[in-house]
Structure 1
């Protein structure tokens, strides 16, 4: 006699909808992942006197818009995945075991939720950019930037997961997003850096991500006139992905010792 078994679902659309609504009602999420990148773009990319000046294959507004969209994506991915990891470690995993949803399904639901908010943050900045004069020479550059930002931005989901697992506190989401702001200031994201500060910036996690996101506009040319080789940008990304993966591994080991 063969007993039929049903595999746990890999994704819960109901949970995905509930999570999205819950985050939309969270003022912290709205302020840091949606409002802050738009406001910073308006301050530095739309109202500045140099906004319409040429920059690579577009104008300065487009350059700043890319930076703020990348920053918003990094904050959304890191903060929401860190929150998911902290929830799982604080007893939500036992509640999850009482439902048909698998652990993989829970993780996928959370990841899609974070990716959705990252896309929403990018769309908010892009729409604001369109309305305020951000321009590129060819339309495909908009789509190339969006694809690079969302695709490469997944690396910060690893970072958020590692922070949530390692620190296991309610404040892990705040820690992840605040650290992204710190990395942005020292990563040539908010303001052009030069000299020693630029050399330091090249070692930070947001530098390679944002530099690659700007590539369809700048082809690697910086505001200082220097040029970043593509291989150096990719090495930065690969190294930090490895560091974030190690943080996740360390967080998993630490969370097991706490049990």
Structure 2
């Protein structure tokens, strides 16, 4: 292969990469703009977890004081996980609005690839999760939760990573269900994962079969991974494996749903 051929190939690959990044960036900014303009959505993903945290903190405030600051911080992290879970799933499910408005059909006419589509949705969901998690953290600080700066950032980073597969779950629901039912399915699934995963009631207070079931869902392990910087000990690698399995399965189901949505949109 000559030098000229190598140069041409390298230039073509660089151009292709720039094109992919441009498409990804354009769709990401479009999705982010749509989310920011939806004030009801932002209010929901921020206000709901804060309200739940203040509610449970008010009920169990005495117990948290009796058992030390770790209990208060643990409850805050659980409710932050709940908030991040809702933000991730609802951000993924916004694809349903694109399908109902006809935008998804127009999107199919662009060179945007499935990988770029999913990456843009994931980035948008991260932008939704950060304020949802941050709002609960602020409420926790107001109620007296104290951790060093490194721990705060470690908890935030680990929760963001652990909850990313839930964006795929929101996409799956948005791709496979009709608009009339997608929102209800998203909410019910979020609540079910939160309850089964021990975000409202600690898993060790549940019957044995519920504990076994809870350890099979990603919401439980997301909370445990988020709690790890505070609790210490061995990293919950079992949880990372469970979350990884969910991510792979959801990615496959989402890819099938994406192809199905393309077929139905072109009719």
CA RMSD of aligned residues (A): 3.0
Give 1 or 2 for the bigger CA radius of gyration: 2
Judge conservation of contact 1:86–1:165 (CA < 8 Å) in 2. no
How far apart, CA to CA, are the structure 2 residues paired with 1:89 and 1:108?
21
- Superposed, 1:53-202 pairs within 5 Å as 53-54=66-67, 58-84=69-95, 87-88=98-99, 91-96=102-107, 102=112, 108-136=119-147, 138-194=148-204, 195-196=207-208, 197-202=210-215
Q: How many residues align?
A: 242
How far apart, CA to CA, are the structure 2 residues paired with 1:215 and 1:229?
7
**Unaligned runs of at least 5 residues, structure 2:** 1-14
Q: CA deviation at 1:79?
A: 1.1
Judge conservation of contact 1:11–1:109 (CA < 8 Å) in 2. yes
Please give the TM-score of this superposition, normalised by the length of structure 1: 0.79
**Unaligned runs of at least 5 residues, structure 1:** 221-227
Judge conservation of contact 2:199–2:220 (CA < 8 Å) in 1. yes
Measured at CA, do residues 247 and 151 of structure 1 come closer, stay the same or move farther in structure 2, by a change above 3 Å? same
- The structure that is helix-richer by fraction is 2
Judge conservation of contact 1:159–1:247 (CA < 8 Å) in 2. no
Please give the TM-score of this superposition, normalised by the length of structure 2: 0.77
